[in-house]
Amino acid sequence: MTELSTNQDFIDLEDKVAAHNYSPLPVVVEHAEGIWVTDVEGRRYLDALSGYSALNFGHRHPALVKAAKDQLDKSTLTSRAFHNDQLGPFCAALGELVGKDMILPMNTGAEAVETALKIARKWGYLVKGVAHDRAEIIVMDGNFHGRTTTIISFSDDPEARDHYGPYTQGFVSVPYGDLAAIEAAIHENTVAVLVEPIQGEQGVKIPKEGFLPGLRELCTDTNVLLIADEIQAGLGRVGTTLACQYEGVEADIYTLGKALGGGIVPVSAVAADADVMSVITPGTHGSTFGGNPLAAAVGKAVCDLLATGEHQQNAATLEGQLRDSLEALIGHGVSEVRVRGLWAGVDIDPELMTGKAACKGLASKGVLAKDTHGSTIRLAPPLTITAEELTIITDALAEVIAEARQG
C-alpha cells in the first residue's frame, strides 16, 4: 500500500474501501485530547460536536482512560454466562444516578431503544393485560431513535426509511409536543409513549414548556409507560443529569447511551424500576457484549464523574452565554436558534448558505460542527469547555456568516 500522509490520501482510501453511508467533512483526525482534535497534517480543531454527545467529557478524559486501562489489565469480556466484578457496581451507580431500581446494559443506543420497546410490549401483555399481539406504542413525528429495521419503521425521514420495508407494525406517530394528539391516540391497547425530551436530529428541537409534565400526568392517568430516550439529551448535556429533570419529570423507562461509554467503548442501558423491569427473565433478552467488564468499568467511571454535578453545572452556567452569542446573529444570516445547556440548533438563512457550507466554513476556522436538515447546524461541545473556549465557537460562526453575507 502507498504510504498515506495527507488528509486526501486517507479520504481517497476510505472512499474506495468503506461503505458510503456518511458524508463527512474533509478532516482526518489522528489525535484527540480534551476539546481538541488534530488531523494527520497537524492542524488543530475545536470539537463542537462531541460525537453527538458521546464525548460529553471530551476526548480521552484522564479518569475514563484510567478506568479502561486498569480494566484491560484484568478482564474485558466474560459474556453474561458468568458474573463479573464490574457489572453490579456499574448498575448500582447508574441506578442511583438516574433514580431507578434496575439497569439492563446493552451496547449501542439503538439496542437500548429496541430493548425498551420489548420491555414495554411485554409489560403491556403481562401487567396491563393487553390482548396478544395488539400492543401499540405512540411515537413522535420527526423522531430519531436509531437505524434498526424496527426503529426506522416508525421514522418519517425518507433517507432513513425508504427501501428497507416491509416495516414493523404496532406504532402510531403524532406531532412532537402535541399533548392533545397523544391523548387522542391513546386507547386500551396503548402500552407506551416513546419521546425524546429534545429532538437532536431535528436540530435541537425543544418542546413547549409544560409538555413533558403534561405527558407524565397523561401517561399516569391512562396506565401507559413513559419512555424517555435520553441517549443524546441525557447525562449532563442540558445542565441536568437527565433532560426530563429540567422540568422535574420522571419517566418510567430511560434509554441511555453515547456519553455512557465515555467516548471509549460503546455502552448503553435501559433504566427502570423493578415493577417494570421484572418482565425480563432469564433467556428472554440478552447480549454477548452487554454488561462486559470493560464497558461496565468505563460506565461506572462516567457515573462517578456525573455524581459530582460539576459537568451538569458547567452546562447550566454556560447556557446563557451560548444563547446570547447565537441570538445576536438572528436577523444577520440566522433565522432561529434553540439552546438548552451546552446544546444548540442554529437555523441558517437558506438563501445565504446550507448547513453543510456553514460547517465547512467553521472547519476552515478550526471548529468542527455538524449540519442537519439542510440549513441547520448543531453545536454540542464537550461539557468540560470553558467560557473562553466557547467564545471560539460562536466567534467563528459569526465570522463565517459575515463572510457569506459579504459575498
Q: Which residues are catalytic?
A: 144, 229, 258
Residues forming a β-bridge with 193: 138, 226
Q: Quick one: cell of 173?
A: 406517530
In angstroms, the Cα distances linking 110 to 148, 152, 261, 277, 288 are: 7, 10, 14, 18, 16
In sequence order, what are the residues at sequence separation of 6 or more whose Cβ sits closer than 8 angstroms to the Cβ of residue 311? 56, 57, 236, 305, 383, 384
Where does 252-354 have alpha helices with state H?
Answer: 274-277, 293-307, 310-327
Query: Is the Cβ–Cβ distance between 353 and 404 less than 8 Å?
Result: yes
Residue-level length of the chain: 407
DSSP 103-119: EEEESSHHHHHHHHHHH
| Torsion-angle region of 130 (φ positive above 0: left; ψ -120 to 50: alpha; else: beta) | beta
Query: What is residue 32's three-state secondary structure?
Result: strand
DSSP 358-379: HHHHHHHTTEE-EEETTTEEEE
Furthest-apart CA atoms within the chain: distance in Å:
65
CA distance 310 to 323: 20
CA distance 47 to 231: 19
In angstroms, the Cα distances linking 132 to 125, 128, 186, 294, 316 are: 7, 11, 18, 39, 45
The 3-state DSSP composition of the chain as helix, strand, coil percent (nearest 5) reads 40, 20, 45
In sequence order, what are the residues at sequence separation of 6 or more whose Cβ sits closer than 8 angstroms to the Cβ of residue 83? none
Query: Is the Cβ–Cβ distance between 39 and 28 less than 8 Å?
Result: yes
CA distance 251 to 272: 8
